[in-house]
Amino acid sequence: MLGAAAMSHAQQDPAAATAPRTIEVVAKRFAFEPARIEVTEGERVRLVVKSADGVHGIEIKKFKVNKKVPRGGDPVTIDFVASAAGEYPILCSEYCGDGHEDMKGMLVVVAK
């Protein structure tokens, strides 16, 4: 059980009070836009991803992100915490044609 002191500390944590950094991403044959996403270590990140054509996927292995992006432009929302600094590939996780293997972006998490 958490003591009262621990609970009030959690409520005052400034990171918990701020909205996530929201980034809109468009997936299309065969690229993500923007291709490079830069955030800060420890930041809460919300990706809102839509397809401009057919089905794609978006995967960032480090943060256990993997979602299908449907055709037709309906957005999918993905929340995660950029808990470790580094450069992480953003991959397409659904086969989408001849350029599928080349459909890559980069998530750059800058150290605090």
**Residue 43 vs 101, nearer CB to ligand CUA:** 101
Q: 23 Cβ partners below 8 Å, 6+ apart?
A: 34, 37, 39, 45, 46, 47, 48
DSSP labels, 52-108: SSS-EEEEEGGGTEEEEE-TTS--EEEEEE--S-EEEEEE--S--STTGGG-EEEEE
Told to check if 96 binds ligand CUA by CB under 6 A, we report yes
> For residues 14-73, which are near ligand CUA according to CB under 6 A?
56
> What's the min distance (Å) between Cβ of 102 and ligand CUA?
9
Quick check: 90 binds ligand CUA (CB under 6 A)? no
Q: How far is the CB of 100 from ligand CUA (least distance, A)?
A: 4
Residues that bind ligand CUA (CB under 6 A): 56, 92, 94-96, 100, 103
